[in-house]
A and B are shown apart, each in its own frame.
Chain A
Amino acid sequence: MAYSEKVMDHFANPRNVGELTDADGVGEVGNSKCGDIMKMYIKVKDDIITDVSFKTFGCGAAIATSSMATELVKGKSIHDALKLTNKAVMEALDGLPPVKVHCSVLAEQAIKAALSDYYTRQGIDPVPIVGKINEVECHLED
């Protein structure tokens, strides 16, 4: 199994790492038993994601997909961010090994979880807009 150069770059030099103490939305997905947890923080102004950051416990692909997902939504409108797919994250990283596809799913879910939290804080029910955040299964393959 080998990672693409882009994955290794985002793993070794992850973008947007850390906490945003004054975040407008925080989302966390995954669990420690499965071996990956992603936490995303967003700042929103006039429906634009002005800042975004992440903290991730997980493998190289988990860190790289988190980093790439934050890059893909940074500066975008929340409506565009809602359209983020795991496929887009994978493509931006020049692909992932098959066993790591679930990391990109987690990254998409983490962004959506942060957006859900943002809507909830605004007093808006997030479910009709963001949909349900599904618990990503540990055992996706086989």
Chain B
Amino acid sequence: MSKHIYADHAATTRLSDKALAAMMPYLTECYGNPSSLYRLGGESQKAVDAARMTMQECLNAPRPNDIYFVSGGSEADNWAIRGAAEIGAKKGKKHIISTEFEHHAVLHTLDYLKKQGFEITLLPVHENGIVRPDELEAAIREDTALVTVMFANNEIGTIQPIKELCAVAHKHNVLFHTDAVQAVGTLPIDVQELDVDLLSLSSHKFHGPKGVGALYIRKGLNLPNLIYGGAQERGKRAGTENTAGIVGMATALKEAVGSIPQRTERLTRMRDRLIDGLLKIDRSRVNGDRLHRLPGNVNMCFEGIEGESLLLMLDLKGVSASSGSACTSGSLDPSHVLLALGLPHEIAHGSLRLTFGDDNTEEDIDYILSVVPPIIERLRSMSPLWEKIVMQDRHDNQKEG
């Protein structure tokens, strides 16, 4: 396979060269345990401290100690939600508000809490994939312990009004968490301006290494400990630090945050050109709001075809992409995100997600625009569902005529 276009940056990203270079010493000669007293340990401790300061600056957190290193986005989400639930439960508050299209790290944590006696309200996300602050306000109750809403959706890339939603929660003295895994490094994020209590992030989404992430915890919020053991992460999340991972994450984040305006401009232009081009295909649609979406996110449905077939055909043409079809999720239901937008099952099965990053070029967009339409035509030519759609159209036209 000669040509290769990676268009799945929402799944994961390539490790940046700078991050790798920064990590190397901690994978080789600087192997000391940060908790050890001798100099070898001290060097590791210094590296972890410096990384924490970098993370603090990138998120504009008040203090380095507001950043807690964890193993990734799912751990951060689990800790934030279960911790906030425990705080609420002590005050007799056992109601949590979230949304229908959260990541499974959030939804499955909420399923667990439901079994523990919590009541869960999932807000609708409407056709445009955006949560409405007035609907959040209406859902808040006396016993609401936490509101958790993702910053940007991982499938359709829609950006939520986090600042407004957080203000609504705080007006009613309710804690606010955001899963910002898809947003950090891509959108400017200032935890003080947003005023959030908890924010989750994952390193490998912004060209950092896998297996590392962070949770921002607002000062004074005494989140229960996640892992008992040593004194790492102020005793809240024990375990010897993943020094190389932490250093790589901080390096990658600094690099990503430093080029947000240029990247946004470039990727938005590429995204919009691709969407406009793909919309020329008969019976295609964009999933989620076109304006309030991540710069590199394209998510479309093509009626009459199934997403996995489209992905396999694209893979044969050298394009790595993703789909919300049931076949690709391992379950037999199409993506809960697309269903939350109100799409019928048969249309949700035919979805395609392409997510772009710094490595992608305008030529990639040209290439994708040249290969997708013939693939869809071919799949439709062999699809009995498409045959039905065409016949129904003919029938409707005759009626009108």
Contact = CB atoms under 8 A, between A and B. Distances in A.
Given A33-B346, A35-B306, A63-B309, A1 B385 contact: no
Interface in B295-326: 304-306, 308-309, 312-313, 316, 325-326
B349 interface: yes
A59 B330 CA distance: 12
Contact of B309 (A1, A17, A38, A59): A59
A37 B385 contact: yes
A51 B332 CA distance: 33
A35 B383 contact: no
Given A11-B312, A18-B382, A63-B382, A58 B306 contact: yes
Contacts of A139: 332
Interface residues of B, number: 24
A14 B387 CA distance: 18
Nearest to B305: A57
A58 B316 CA distance: 17
B286 interface: no
A1 B328 CA distance: 9
Indicate the member of A17, A35, A55 with the most B CB atoms within 10 Å: A35
Nearest to A33: B345
A33 B350 CA distance: 11
B334 interface: yes
Contacts of B327: 35, 58-61, 99-100
A11 to B, nearest CB: 6
A28 interface: yes
B287 to A, nearest CB: 17
A138 interface: yes
A32 B385 contact: yes
Determine the main DSSP class of A at the interface with B.
Answer: mixed
B118 interface: no
A1 B384 contact: no
B150 to A, nearest CB: 26
Contacts of B344: 33
B345 A32 contact: yes
Interface residues of A, number: 33
Contacts of B387: 55
A140 B333 CA distance: 11
Interface string A1-36: 101000010011010011000000000100011111
B386 interface: yes
Contacts of B325: 35, 59
Interface string B33-64: 00000000000000000000000000000000
Given A28-B384, A32-B345, A57-B384, A62 B330 contact: no
Interface in A110-142: 138-141
B345 A55 contact: no
Nearest to A102: B332
Given A28-B384, A138-B332, A12 B316 contact: yes
Nearest to B346: A32
Contacts of B316: 12
A55 B349 CA distance: 17
Contacts of B345: 32-35
A61 B313 CA distance: 13
Contacts of B326: 34-35
Indicate the member of A8, A55, A140 with the most B CB atoms within 10 Å: A55
22 contacts: A1-B330, A11-B309, A12-B316, A32-B349, A33-B346, A34-B345, A35-B325, A35-B326, A35-B327, A35-B346, A54-B382, A55-B383, A55-B384, A57-B305, A58-B309, A59-B306, A59-B309, A61-B327, A62-B306, A63-B309, A99-B327, A138-B332
The 4 closest A-B pairs by CB, nearest first: A32-B346, A59-B327, A59-B308, A57-B385
Interface of A: 1, 3, 8, 11-12, 14, 17-18, 28, 32-39, 54-63, 99-100, 138-141
Given A33-B344, A33-B345, A61-B327, 7 more contacts: A3-B312, A11-B312, A14-B382, A18-B382, A32-B349, A59-B308, A59-B325
